[in-house]
Amino acid sequence: MDLIGALIECGAVKFGDFILKSGRRSQYYIDIKVAETKWEILNEICDRILPFVYGNKLAGVELGAIPIVVGVALKSNKDYIIIRKERKDYGTARRYEGTIERGDKFTIIEDVVTTASSVLRAAEIIEEEGGIVENIVAVVDREEGGRENIENRGYKFNAIITAEELLKRR
């Protein structure tokens, strides 16, 4: 499958004037959630992430990474956790769903990495609970400092698509 073409065709890549979560302005926006609703595209994304899965567990930050984490978990026979963007203020008040045992080794999956703030927060939560982050994998690296921020914290990072590759197809 031509994954970049499929992302553009399904409307997951939009061109215009956008404000990103980081507060930066961008001439393009990547909404992987749109692509995740298409089973063939989701399946292709999961297949491309599989070679970068290390450790015995997966993790993803709600919302965009969750369908991918579930798909990769099913393909790799690995358990996963869901990292919440904000701690629940009711019930168990947990920052994540699932279990982290001391020494569990995680691959964190993210849909899009810009500055990597969300995925680095997820790594901190995992480590505070006794887990070990083996690798961080993104569908798209916007190439706006996220890779450097991840690697400067000592983590491995892989992306299946870069902004440069994506923008060549515009």
Instruction: Going residue by residue through the chain, which has 170 residues, state the pLDDT in tens, using 9 for 90 and above.
Output: 999 999 999 999 988 898 887 788 888 899 999 999 999 999 999 999 999 999 999 999 988 899 999 999 999 999 999 999 776 566 666 889 999 999 999 999 999 999 999 999 999 999 999 999 999 999 999 999 999 999 999 999 999 999 999 988 77
The secondary structure of residue 111, as a DSSP letter, is E
User: Is pTM, for the whole model, over 0.85?
Assistant: yes
Query: How many folded domains does the chain comprise?
Result: 1
Which CATH number characterizes residue 72's domain? 3.40.50.2020
Structural domain boundaries, residue 86: 44-168
Structure token pair of residue 52:
């970068």
Residue 34 falls within a domain, yes or no? Answer: no
CA 100 to CA 132: how far, in whole Å? 10
Burial of 105 from C-beta contacts in 10 A (0-12 / 13-18 / 19+): middle
Query: 75: helix, coil or strand?
Result: helix
Q: Give the number of other Cβ atoms within 10 Å of residue 12's Cβ.
A: 23
Residue 30 falls within a domain, yes or no? Answer: no
Residue 115 falls within a domain, yes or no? Answer: yes
Query: What region, left, alpha or beta, does residue 25 occupy, with left being phi > 0 and alpha being psi -120 to 50 degrees?
Result: beta
Residue 26 falls within a domain, yes or no? Answer: no
